[in-house]
Structure 1
Amino acid sequence: MTTTDTDSTPEPTPAVPELGEELLAVDGLVKHFPIRKGILQRQVGAVQAVDGLTFNVTRGETLSLVGESGCGKTTTGRLLTRLLEPTSGTIRFEGRDISHLGEGKMRPMRRDVQMIFQDPYGSLNPRHTVGKIVGAPFRLQHVKTEHGVKKAVQELLELVGLSPEHYNRYPHEFSGGQRQRIGIARTLALRPKLIVADEPVSALDVSIQAQVVNLLEDLQEEFDLTYVMIAHDLSVVRHVSDRVAVMYLGKIVELADRVSLYERPMHPYTVALLSAVPVPDTKRKGKQERIRLQGDVPSPINPPPACRFHTRCWKAQEICKTQEPPLIELAPGHQTACHFPENQDAPAAKQDTAPAT
């Protein structure tokens, strides 16, 4: 028996955005964590975790954020998913400003913006079964499925390479790689448009890392996903990224496509990072110069003035201590914040031949 709606006027079909359209736009994003002391808890300082980020992410691409520990990568990811409230700046998702939306207005946006957490052991509730964990988004968003939540969860488990029989098991019964797959299944439950992956393979063995990375790539192609990948393994970043943003002490110092960044790094900090990447080719290994940065990363509570990298940079001059270099385009699609960039006059990069993971 079929039923008909009382309103015979069909709802307009929403326009499907084209591939390459801007999905996420970040402008002047700042996050400072206040430091309070005393009985009255007065603010005496602030940790400048993120200090003025500006970038965009187009639909279907993978943008990776790289840098040393403490540079603000994870904080940026939590700001993009609005798990943290920005101190200032704007975050626009599909043209809508979500920077300071309340919890009620942000709830519908959770369907489109999801996060894969770094720790596959701490991100899953040990008291809940896999079925309850992966099915939580359906319940929280009041989403009804065609054949019930259990069937939808089992299909998601199969999608990420697990068995439907794992539905009634608990997280402690799985390995690290399997737990990360469970987290990915939970993230995919509502078919999000943007996924922020916070070092999704850093806690896994090397052999498992390749499986998870390849899974993420397959899912991106199948569901037209957009990734913001947070990572410190530059070999993995080269394999999965379309563009790469290098962060240092809460700021982006270089932003370029993968080929240009790896073949012609312009910022001294990027050059130093890439010099530490192991080279499997024995013929090239001896030709690579290892750059060892002097000193430790300055404190984000009191970062150096002007260029924040000048305290460790071998090219630093007086202007680096007094004037902050802007992030400007020095080559097509290649932005750098440096007064004395490297490889500025080098020939254009050739086609990337990075080996597959």
Structure 2
Amino acid sequence: MTTTDTGSSSGPTPNAPKANEELLSVDGLVKHFPIRKGLLQRQVGAVQAVDGLSFGVKQGETLSLVGESGCGKTTTGRLLTRLETPTAGKIVFEGHDISHLSEGRMRPLRRDIQMIFQDPYGSLNPRHTVGKIVGAPYHLQNVKTEHGVKKAVQELLELVGLSPEHYNRYPHEFSGGQRQRIGIARTLALRPKLIVADEPVSALDVSIQAQVVNLLEDLQDEFDLTYVMIAHDLSVVRHVSDRVAVMYLGKIVELADRVSLYERPMHPYTVALLSAVPVPDTKRKGKQDRIRLQGDVPSPINPPPACRFHTRCWKAQEICKTQEPPLLELAPGHQTACHFPENLEPPAAKTVQDS
């Protein structure tokens, strides 16, 4: 399918990155939601949803954001797609700072940055047909196709495993997995470079999850897509990710490649998360030590000082309550924010203790 752009662009003209170059980089990203009370709606506090994230995403890779509910994963995804405006920090896409671009200047970049939403039921307008839903990006961006929008939409439906005959049907006529495929087709319409997938399979039956995950992987290979995957199912994350960032209460506490993180987790929070992953091997089942964290996640309105995990960490000491640990590279490509990390090699452990 060939598309020809006939719309005008008022924003920057991105230059496509080469292989292994960063398509997206984030530096010190912050998002605080003000809390207002009273007749004059004065601000009395703020929800610190995202508080100082820094990471990069290379062309063609999949970076997954994981963590408990309320840690700021979805807010981060909405910031990357500029559905929310950051309180502070920078979001750089293809070399251009898009952190505070106006809606008009962001509009042409919407073609390159798209989002797959978590809820396949709420993300599709029940009053519109599938053809109108999937074809909406062409009309909104004033993009003409070689054989017309209807033909382009039918090709997209076939691409995601649906029938072209579904063009005139409504969302209520489809199952949850089929609706998510419709959402994926809509996301792919303008051939984006970066897709933020907000828990794309969490609302689906287990039997359907693997099909959608495999579809996303096939589409990535075919169109050289870059994914930021937001998830809480660590089994799915291990299957699809190149790198994994573990978030806790608005901050990244560990960032590493998939193999390194799953085989040698360093942050106690990551160790606890991985201990809860079910083991399919019956011989190993029961030998795994489950770490049960005490208490609930603290409120993002008033997070704990210094290390935010110290109120639930079994290794916490006085320094954890007074000094925030920086996110440091303790092994090649493996960053951790912890004063007393786990699974360190002896030389690295000695360096951390000496510092």
Question: What band does the TM-score fall into relative to the shorter chain?
Answer: over 0.9
Pick closer, same or farther for the CA change 1:346–1:70 going to 2, 3 Å.
Answer: farther
- Residue-by-residue CA offset, 1:76-131 (whole Å, 9 max, x unaligned): 00000000000000000001000000010000000000000000000000000000
Shift of 1:15: 6.9
Q: Which one-letter code corresponds to 1:185 in the other structure?
A: A
Aligned position for 1:147: 147
Query: Aligned with 2:284: secondary structure?
Result: helix
Identity fraction in percent: 91
Q: 1: distance between equivalents of 2:167 and 2:246?
A: 40
2:18 equivalent to 1:18: yes
Shift of 1:31: 0.1
2:198 equivalent to 1:170: no
Pick closer, same or farther for the CA change 1:24–1:197 going to 2, 3 Å.
Answer: same
- Residue-by-residue CA offset, 1:169-188 (whole Å, 9 max, x unaligned): 00000000000000000000
Query: Aligned with 1:329: secondary structure?
Result: strand
- Residue-by-residue CA offset, 1:308-340 (whole Å, 9 max, x unaligned): 000000000000000000000000000000000
Q: 2: distance between equivalents of 1:319 and 1:19?
A: 42
Aligned position for 2:323: 323
Shift of 1:18: 2.1
Query: Aligned with 1:284: secondary structure?
Result: coil
8 Å contact 2:15–2:94 — kept in the other structure?
A: no
Q: Which one-letter code corresponds to 1:65 in the other structure?
A: L
Q: Which one-letter code corresponds to 1:249 in the other structure?
A: L
Q: Please report the TM-score for the alignment, with normalisation by the length of structure 1.
A: 0.93
Aligned position for 2:313: 313
Query: Aligned with 2:69: secondary structure?
Result: coil
8 Å contact 2:242–2:258 — kept in the other structure?
A: yes
2:300 equivalent to 1:304: no
Aligned position for 2:353: none
- Residue-by-residue CA offset, 1:46-91 (whole Å, 9 max, x unaligned): 0000000000000000000000000000000000000000000000
Aligned position for 1:255: 255
8 Å contact 1:114–1:192 — kept in the other structure?
A: yes
Q: Moved runs in structure 1, 4+ residues, more than 6 A?
A: none
Number of matched pairs? 335
Aligned position for 1:67: 67
Aligned position for 2:89: 89
Query: Aligned with 2:48: secondary structure?
Result: strand
Aligned position for 1:230: 230
2:276 equivalent to 1:284: no
Query: Aligned with 1:144: secondary structure?
Result: strand
Q: 1: distance between equivalents of 2:254 and 2:32?
A: 22
Q: 1: distance between equivalents of 2:347 and 2:273?
A: 21
Aligned position for 1:191: 191
8 Å contact 2:135–2:150 — kept in the other structure?
A: yes
Shift of 1:346: 7.3
Query: Aligned with 2:283: secondary structure?
Result: helix
Aligned position for 2:219: 219
Shift of 1:283: 1.8
Aligned position for 2:10: none
Aligned position for 2:239: 239
Query: Aligned with 2:227: secondary structure?
Result: strand
Aligned position for 1:6: none
Shift of 1:292: 0.1
Q: Which one-letter code corresponds to 1:281 in the other structure?
A: D
Q: 1: distance between equivalents of 2:300 and 2:137?
A: 36
* Structure 2 gap segments, 5+ residues each: 1-13, 349-355
8 Å contact 2:32–2:50 — kept in the other structure?
A: yes
Shift of 1:21: 1.1
Q: 2: distance between equivalents of 1:245 and 1:223?
A: 24
Pick closer, same or farther for the CA change 1:177–1:151 going to 2, 3 Å.
Answer: same
8 Å contact 2:17–2:23 — kept in the other structure?
A: no
Q: Which one-letter code corresponds to 2:90 in the other structure?
A: T
8 Å contact 2:17–2:94 — kept in the other structure?
A: no
8 Å contact 1:306–1:322 — kept in the other structure?
A: yes
2:76 equivalent to 1:76: yes
Aligned position for 2:180: 180
Q: 2: distance between equivalents of 1:211 and 1:162?
A: 13
Q: Which one-letter code corresponds to 1:224 in the other structure?
A: D
Q: 1: distance between equivalents of 2:177 and 2:344?
A: 41
Q: Which one-letter code corresponds to 2:104 in the other structure?
A: G
- Residue-by-residue CA offset, 1:190-215 (whole Å, 9 max, x unaligned): 00000000000000001100000000
Aligned position for 1:9: none
Q: How does 1:4-43 map to 2 (within 5 A)?
A: 17-43=17-43
Shift of 1:27: 0.1
8 Å contact 1:177–1:212 — kept in the other structure?
A: yes
Query: Aligned with 1:282: secondary structure?
Result: coil
Q: 1: distance between equivalents of 2:15 and 2:251?
A: 36
Aligned position for 1:45: 45
8 Å contact 1:264–1:346 — kept in the other structure?
A: no
Q: 2: distance between equivalents of 1:111 and 1:72?
A: 25
Aligned position for 2:351: none
Q: Which one-letter code corresponds to 2:147 in the other structure?
A: H
Shift of 1:282: 1.6
Aligned position for 1:351: none
